[in-house]
Amino acid sequence: MIVRIRRPHTGARFIHPLHPEPRTAILAGGFQETKAVRVFPRGWSDSAERFRPACIAGPPERLRNLAGKVVSVENSLIVFTYEGKSGLSHSDREMFWKAFGVPVFEQYLGPRNELLAMECDAHSGLHVVTGCEDLRLERDVCACGSSAPRLSRAARIEELAELLA
Ligand SMILES: [Zn+2]
């Protein structure tokens, strides 16, 4: 009998924007594993492939490496971007869409992978989950129906340009 030893429940909780939550392979460490979520800290591997995820989540570099390979995803792609760095670029978004053919959702994470803001189904900015007070926010009601303030991608790129100026 093989007993799978679950990793301890340390790390951030991953929240998928869609319901029900699809089988998700996270290609980065520092996340909790659940029934639907498996963590592959070293990136894509045979065991990730055997898991047969419907969704793959990870930083842009890891996902970019996968784009040329035969990896099929049925549900979605979640791209992690990090506090203080620029958001997902339009060209990367296009490239991911062409390579995987599934909706792309950006999630904005803090230093311990805590979810700060997440893109919704309407794809018009990232809804703030926590923090982000210093960033410019859009406060009109989103097409998805949520009134949670949103980070617009354009605002984040401007913001970063101001920081670097
Ligand atoms: Zn929304």
For the stretch 90-128, pLDDT in tens is 899 999 999 999 999 999 999 999 999 999 999 999 999
Q: Is residue 123 part of a domain?
A: no
Strand partners for 82: 109
Q: Is residue 82 part of a domain?
A: yes
Which residue range(s) make up the domain with 30? Answer: 24-116
Q: Is residue 98 part of a domain?
A: yes
> Rounded distance, CA 76 to CA 57, Å?
9
A 10 A CB-CB count for 92 gives: 18
For the stretch 129-139, pLDDT in tens is 999 988 889 99
pTM of the model: 0.87
Q: How remote is the CA of residue 138 from the centroid of ligand 1, in Å?
A: 11
For the stretch 15-71, pLDDT in tens is 999 999 999 999 999 999 999 999 999 999 999 999 999 999 999 999 999 987 878
Q: How remote is the CA of residue 22 from the centroid of ligand 1, in Å?
A: 19
For 124, residues 6+ apart whose C-beta sits below 8 A from its C-beta are 142, 143, 150, 152
Q: How remote is the CA of residue 144 from the centroid of ligand 1, in Å?
A: 4
Tally the domains of the chain: 1
A 10 A CB-CB count for 145 gives: 9
Q: Is residue 97 part of a domain?
A: yes
